[in-house]
Homo-oligomer: A and B are copies of this chain.
């Protein structure tokens, strides 16, 4: 049993959960954005990838690939593409997780079966995304269990045409996000999550609008206090305001066209 305070503000309002070392590692997660200049060993990389591969996969389809980027020029370019995020370039290793139905397309040809309709369906696009994400989270937990820090990099989706060229991914492979891994040089704080009651519904989705909105208001108060404390009173942002502002700004609106040009999510 670790002491409750190691858990950070995630659990301000929660009851202390049943603990073990694995759950402590999971609950202790924070995104790390400053890494030591120390590359992962090949053995660490292999451990992380094998952990990713151990995740569940829809009907054994294994519809994902992982590209590990070691080449410094490529990393630099990826960092620029991701919106000048320095930690994409400076880390212990940079993984890119891709939804991948390319191998299944080849298999269809080899086996002389018409798999095209199926591969181009929204369903299989979803399978690729889910498979890749389950694998990635296993990789993240495995890395953290080795004392490494991680940060997901959705920023690579800013410009997937360029990322695709850089990583030479064929059609039916969609780079989804990066995972920067390395030895933490600077710790970050955890940001409090939505309440358990708001995320978790019993038997059916919350039907009371009053309850639903009240939960969001209470969360706003929590977040507002959190930012205020963290910034010595300078920032008083609410989560809902932050989200509305972010979503008002349309981003990556080219995505549908890109995915369909890469022959997924077509039908």
Contacts and interface: CB of A to CB of B under 8 A. Distances in A.
A231 interface: no
Contacts of A239: 60
A66 interface: yes
Interface in A120-156: 121-124, 126-127, 129-130, 133-134, 136-138, 140-142, 145-146, 150-152, 154
Interface string A200-226: 111111010000110010000000000
Nearest to A201: B67
A169 interface: yes
A235 interface: no
Contacts of A10: 50, 53-54
A22 B239 CA distance: 33
- Chain A contact-residue range equals 35 or more
Given A27-B50, A107-B240, A196-B49, A248 B115 contact: yes
Contacts of A55: 26, 29, 137, 140
Given A64-B199, A207-B168, A251-B123, A244 B11 contact: no
Given A213-B106, A244-B113, A253 B123 contact: yes
A255 B52 CA distance: 27
A65 B215 CA distance: 14
Given A31-B56, A140-B56, A213-B106, A201 B247 contact: no
Nearest to A105: B247
Given A27-B50, A145-B23, A251-B118, A65 B205 contact: yes
A146 B20 contact: yes
A1 interface: no
A119 interface: yes
B138 A241 contact: no
Among A50, A173, A200, the one with the most B-chain Cβ atoms within 10 Å of its Cβ is A50
A248 B124 CA distance: 12
15 contacts: A10-B53, A10-B54, A18-B47, A20-B145, A56-B152, A67-B202, A67-B203, A67-B204, A68-B202, A110-B213, A118-B248, A121-B252, A122-B259, A124-B247, A130-B177
